Amino acid sequence: MSVRVLLPNAFQKHTNGAREIESNAANLPQLITEIETNFPALKTHLRDEQGQVRRFINFYVNEEDIRFLGNDKYAFQDGDEVLVIPSIAGGSSAESGTPSAGSGESRRGVCCCCSYCGQEECICGD
């Protein structure tokens, strides 16, 4: 069984220019591990300080958001086309969902910057 995985341009700096790979992964966690094994330079960029896949990276299977298909539980089918697309839609991740207590610490990993000054810790008096 194999699936075709299309990588975004933003990854190419860390993948020696590779834009797609064939994978035998059975599901999303296996696929992410495989991508990291193939492209060690990508690993530190793919995950945040807590080791979670960054929330702005989205996975789609044959045009459908993998979150609508069961996310980590979805078993890849032979011939599936998997798209990895960062950022066009942000804000969600497989591991997310903890309500914010509103403190700076709990915000970390959710929305670190101020939209005005761009800093993790706002410097413009917010």
Partner 1 sequence: MAAGYELRCRECGKRFENAPLSICDECFSPLEVQCDLDAARKTFTREAIAAGPSSMWRYQALLPVPEHYKPTTPAGWTPLIEAPRLAQRIGARNLWIKNDAVCLPTLSFKDRVVAVALANAKVFGFDTVGCSSTGNLANAVAADAARLGLKTYILVPADLEPAKILNTQVYGATLVRIDGNYDHVNRLCSQIADRYNWGFVNVNLRPYYAEGSKTVGFEIAEQLGWRLPDNVVVPMAGGSLITKIRKAFKELIALGLVEDKPVRFFGAQATGCSPISTAVKTGADAIEPQRPATIARSLAIGNPADGVYAARAIRDSGGWAEDVSDVEIVSAIQELAETEGIFTETAGGVTTAVTARLYAHGRIHLDELTVSCITGNGLKTTDVLEGAYEQHAAIRPRLSDFENYLAEASEENELVVERVSSLG
φ, ψ of residue 83 in degrees (nearest 5): -105, 135
Contact between 82 and partner 1 by CB under 8 A: the answer reads no
Residue 78 neighbours by CB under 8 Å, 6+ apart: 1, 2, 3
Q: Can you tell me which residue has the tokens 């341009």?
A: 9
Size of the residue set binding partner 1 (CB under 8 A): 50
Instruction: From 22-30, 31-39, 69-77, 82-90, give the range in contact with partner 1 by CB under 8 A.
Output: 82-90
Binding mask 19-58 for partner 1 (x = CB under 8 A): --------------------------xx-x-----xxxxx
Question: Which spans of this chain sit near partner 1 (rule: CB under 8 A)?
Answer: 6, 8-11, 13, 45-46, 48, 54-58, 60, 63, 65, 67-68, 83, 85-93, 96-100, 102, 106-107, 110-113, 115-120, 124-126
